[in-house]
Copies of this chain bind each other. A is one copy, B any other.
């Protein structure tokens, strides 16, 4: 392992440097010595217009989801737990034993939000951050330990149940919140509290300490982030140590096998994602962070290999991960049932975070493709239109007569969960979203995600402002205008061409330019002048997507997609006498667009109108001789809505994968 590199509290002069010169306010900011091709922008450097889809999501998160989470931390007892741990209240411990982590995730989300807010705005959120930071200070033990469950309920068991306790997991989220607060310049004292805890961890688990790892990864990536912010090498070393200690059978207790904890094989030797999907993805994030900061290319390659395995054998078309309800786990290769998809929201979020880290490290467009897919589908579906209800599990099919409900296999977004990991995790992702649209590199700027926004960046020390206007993902036209001076030296504006895009055109000031994208990015290099406008037009055909033939669960089916959006059918859009399970898509008939003034659950801007049939099956026999062909069919017009908007109308069946009639050819492409 390479020696940890020194860091400083401020990011060195770099292309992505914010105009103010302050610490870059974004998650997963590589240190100046890190391996990596791209450099992120701060969340305040990309201001999303409120009318674009990403801007709507961002604003909804700030105005609805984040206040909702703050409120629920109070009503669900999370803050009460901390008050009791501080000796200020009598409350019996409430909720999951790792309930503190919900507080930390919300603090992190609030910090990213405040990093992009004007100093006088968001007074309530500022008060929440300040008050909670002060509360945490009072709940923290003199030695730096901070965990309300083990303080209140099992004080004698501190550090004694690493497979189960989530103590380091909670510590990790505290650290991530503190890093966010530190980068955002809010939460006075939170960073010091986190460091006191982190120093305790270094003393206990460091090279001179015990050989233990946490059953739920998270501490690894958090410690790297803390190292990045503070430059304190032992944090990075401890993160690397946790990675290296994994896979040595330290987590053998309890009903789960070691694979559940990714403790069955050393991470750098792993060939397949395994076990609890969120744990796997959080571990992967830690692996990437350690690898890029230590220059450990073998570990980075291992992380890339696991990402490939997940994406090529165990990822839903929505970008979701985790095929099994049992153990919330990855399954066997190609085991991707749409109905029993567990597809936990947190796994989707973690997948987004891992792809982002690999994108920064490598600059490869496929990681941005994956970010976009999971964001617009598996992540977006988890939040209700009003921002205050959430899915925990995100199946791709719900049947007529669905058995499930409550928190298990729910067909309704719920305001909160007994295990409420997902809602505040969504809050922190959406609060940090602006920072993920664009990056800097040595050549200039790259745009990865398209949304109406103003991007402020420094290119080779020269401030550059770019206006991006688009109706994406509803329309493929993206207009980018340089507003203001952009320096006298040439630099490259790189625009991602998504892998699903079959054709596109690029105009610069109205003039078509030849724009190849062999690696997934169109590169326009020139001296940029104020007012220069680039128009990228991505063709957004409706695509009938089929799955790899080994995905048995969706054989003979197609999914309708357009751009990054996966669409689905809902019972609510069928004639009263038609049952969704009996619907067949005619794959040879054209699919046309229907436009509406959305967005809203009832009137998305673009719905897809397809042709199909309903098949009437005679008899109730579950099995019959195959040779008896036939079946009466009735033509039906099908209306497909964006998957992320399903479940807002009458309760009923939904499906992403539609049986095609005639069946689509198996293909080799």
Residues A617 and B550 in contact, CB atoms below 8 Å apart: yes
Q: Is A312 an interface residue (CB 8 A)?
A: yes
Q: Complex Cα distance A632/B666, Å?
A: 10
Instruction: Return chain B residues, CB-CB under 8 Å to A619.
Output: 668-669
Judge if A274 is at the interface, Cβ distance under 8 Å. yes
Cross-chain contact A617 with B548 (CB below 8 angstroms): yes
Q: Which residues of B contact A274 (CB under 8 A)?
A: 403
Q: Does A621 sit at the interface, judged by CB under 8 A?
A: yes
Q: Which of A100-128 contact B (CB under 8 A)?
A: none
Contact with B along A237-261 (1 / 0, CB 8 A): 0000000000000000000010100
Contact A549 B665 (CB under 8 A): no
Contact of A77 with B by CB under 8 A: no
- Asked if A664 and B626 make an inter-chain contact with CB atoms under 8 angstroms apart, the answer reads yes
Q: Kindly identify which residue among B339, B550, B628 contacts A552, using a CB–CB cutoff of 8 Å.
A: B339
Kindly list 20 other residue pairs between chains A and B, CB separation below 8 angstroms, not including A312-B621, A329-B403, A332-B403: A257-B405, A274-B403, A311-B622, A324-B340, A331-B403, A333-B399, A337-B339, A339-B552, A340-B340, A543-B625, A544-B626, A546-B625, A549-B617, A550-B617, A584-B666, A617-B667, A617-B668, A618-B668, A618-B669, A663-B663
CA distance A330 to B664 in the complex (A): 31
Residue from A313, A330, A622, A660 having most chain B Cβ neighbours under 10 A: A622
Cβ of A518 within 8 Å of any chain B Cβ, yes or no, is no
Nearest Cβ distance between residue A647 and chain B, in whole angstroms? 16
Which B residues touch A313, using CB under 8 A? Answer: 622
Instruction: Tell me whether A37 is interfacial, beta carbon within 8 Å.
Output: no
| Nearest B residue (CB) for A273 | B403
The answer to whether A629 touches B553 (Cβ under 8 A) is no
A558 within 8 A of B: yes
- With an 8 A cutoff between CB atoms, is A489 at the interface? no
* Distance between A471 CB and nearest chain B CB, rounded to angstroms: 24
Number of this chain's copies in the assembly equals 2
| 3 closest cross-chain pairs (CB), A and B | A629-B665, A628-B669, A631-B668
Q: Which residues of B contact A130 (CB under 8 A)?
A: none
B residues less than 8 Å from A622 (CB atoms): 311-313, 315, 317, 547-548, 551
Min distance, Cβ A194 to any Cβ of chain B, angstroms: 34
Is A582's beta carbon under 8 Å from chain B? yes
Residue of B nearest to A325 (CB): B326
Q: Give the B-binding residues of A (Cβ under 8 A).
A: 257, 259, 272, 274, 308, 311-313, 315, 317, 324-326, 329-335, 337-340, 397, 399-406, 408, 543-559, 581-582, 584, 587, 615-632, 657, 659-661, 663-669
Q: Select A339's contact among B332, B546, B632, beta carbons within 8 Å.
A: B332
Task: Tell me, rounded to whole Å, the shortest Cβ–Cβ distance linking A399 to chain B.
Answer: 4
Cβ-closest chain B residue relative to A587:
B626
B624 and A669 contacting across the interface, CB-CB below 8 Å:
yes
| Nearest CB in chain B: distance from A82 CB, A | 26
Complex alpha-carbon distance, A616 and B621, angstroms: 34
Q: Which residue of B lies closest to A669 (CB)?
A: B628
Assess the B340–A626 pair: CB atoms within 8 A: no
The distance from the CB of A420 to the nearest CB of chain B, in whole angstroms, is: 17
Instruction: Please give, as numbers and ranges, the residues of chain B lying within 8 Å of A623 by CB-CB distance.
Output: 317, 545-548, 559
A333's closest neighbor in chain B, by CB? B401
Partner of A665, one of B325, B630, B668: B630
Contact, CB under 8 Å: A667 / B630? yes
Decide: B337 and A659 in contact? CB cutoff 8 A. no
Interchain CB contact (< 8 A) of A553 among B337, B408, B630, B632? B337
Contacts of A584 in B (CB 8 A): 666
With A340-B340, A581-B550, A622-B547 already in contact, the answer to whether A616 and B332 are too (CB < 8 A) is no
Chain B residues whose C-beta falls within 8 Å of the C-beta of A403 in the assembled complex: 259, 274, 329-332, 335
Distance A666 CA – B557 CA, assembled complex (angstroms): 13
- How many Å lie between the Cα of A626 and that of B591 in the bound state? 14
Shortest Cβ gap from A619 to chain B (Å): 6
CA distance A623 to B564 in the complex (A): 13
CB distance from A668 to the nearest CB of B (A): 4
Which residues of chain B are near A397, meaning CB under 8 Å?
552
Closest to A620 in B: B312
Q: How far is the CA of A308 from the CA of B621 in the complex (A)?
A: 10
Bound complex: CA of A325 vs CA of B409, how far in Å?
13
Question: In the bound complex, do residue A626 and residue B555 qualify as a contact, i.e. CB atoms below 8 Å apart?
Answer: no
What's the least CB distance linking A331 to chain B, in Å?
A: 6
Complex: how many Å from CA A621 to CA B620?
A: 38
CB nearest neighbor in B for A581: B550
A556-B663, A630-B665, A660-B626 known; A334 and B617 CB under 8 Å?
A: no
* Residue in chain B with minimal CB distance to A403: B332
Asked if B552 and A668 make an inter-chain contact with CB atoms under 8 angstroms apart, the answer reads no
